[in-house]
Amino acid sequence: MTLTKDVQIKPYNKTDLLTRILLNCGLEIALKFENKYRNFAKHRNVSRQAKTQKRQRNMSNKIALGIAVLTVILNGLIGHFFAPNGILLTPIVLTITTILVCFGTKNINSILISALTYLFVALNDILIKLYSSGSHDYQGHGWIHLLLFIGLVPTFGILIATVFKRKEESVINKVIAISLFIGLIILHLHFFSNLGLGRYY
CA distances from 136 to 74, 78, 116, 120 (A): 20, 16, 27, 22
Residues listed for the chain: 201
Question: What are the b/e assignments for 35-73, b being 16+ CB within 10 Å?
Answer: eeeeeeeeeeeeeeeeeeeeeeeeeebeebbeebeebbe
pLDDT at 15: 65
Query: Bridge partners of 135?
Result: 200
Residue pLDDT tens, the chain, 201 long: 444 445 454 554 556 666 777 677 777 787 777 777 777 767 666 666 666 667 777 898 999 999 999 999 999 999 999 989 999 999 999 999 999 999 999 889 999 999 999 999 999 999 999 998 877 888 889 999 999 999 999 999 999 999 999 888 899 999 999 999 999 999 999 999 999 888 776
Predicted TM-score of the model (pTM): 0.75
pLDDT of residue 1: 46
Q: Around 70, how many Cα atoms within 13 Å sit in the side-chain half-sphere?
A: 7
CB atoms within 10 A of CB 184: 17
- Give the C-alpha separation, 1 to 8, whole Å: 22
pLDDT at 186: 97
The three-class DSSP label of residue 107 is: coil
* Stretch (H or E) spanning 71: helix 14-81
